[in-house]
Amino acid sequence: MASHNFLFFAVLIAICAVVLASDSSPLQDFCVADPNGPVLVNGHACKDPKLVQANDFFFSGLHLPGNTSNAVGSRVTPATVAQIPGLNTLGISLVRVDYAPWGINPPHTHPRATEILTVIEGTLEVGFVTSNPENLLLTKKLIKGDVFVFPVGLVHFQRNVGYTNAVAIAALSSQNPGVITIANAVFGSTPAISNDLLAKSFQVDIKTIDWIQSKF
């Protein structure tokens, strides 16, 4: 009997973990984020519904090209709960990504969201890598109107493979999907990860690690 009870509770915990692995569902019409609220919650406290306005659900700017004059040649313009308070508890957000010719959105992950990307202009090479031990790379060349999905948590990237600017719009399954850019996290952390550890991890000498870290 004890073993059956243990199995029951183990299954129950596993089911709960799956249910709770995404943004929680709203229990009212809306919960407009109140970033100055005194209560700390997983997300944002709700603004008084009597004070809610249409602008709490509004954002303007995705028609404007992002400035791609940077080292990677891309710019992400987000429309998450930080920009649209009305997204709080709704489990969705949006970004615009601009790419200079041959610009990249470098390998990164979204720890809290699956992403579905649509090419608006240009031609993109996109891909993601599956988890250990396979580490399988799945890539696809996309043109205007094509759609591609990046599963939650997996390392993925985009690259403009054309000679003109490219634009994509992506929806994400979280009000606050988060982003971890692999190179920035590994080589640009504060404080820095020890260079001998990274040298052993990447199987290169310490001088190479020091040189890479100096870029971040």
d(CA 147, CA 170): 9
Determine if residue 110 is labeled as part of a ligand binding site.
Answer: yes
* Residues 87, 14: Cα–Cα separation, whole Å: 28
Residue 44, marked binder: no
Q: Is there a binding annotation on residue 4?
A: no
Is 134 labelled a binding residue?
no
The structure tokens listed for 111 are 């720890």
Residue 184 marked ligand-binding: no
Could you tell me if 169 and 120 are in contact, meaning their C-beta atoms sit under 8 angstroms apart? yes
Q: Binding site residues for oxalate, as ranges?
A: 105, 110, 115
Please state the residue numbers annotated as binding site for Mn(2+).
108, 110, 115, 156
**Sequence ranges of the binding site:** 105, 108, 110, 115, 156
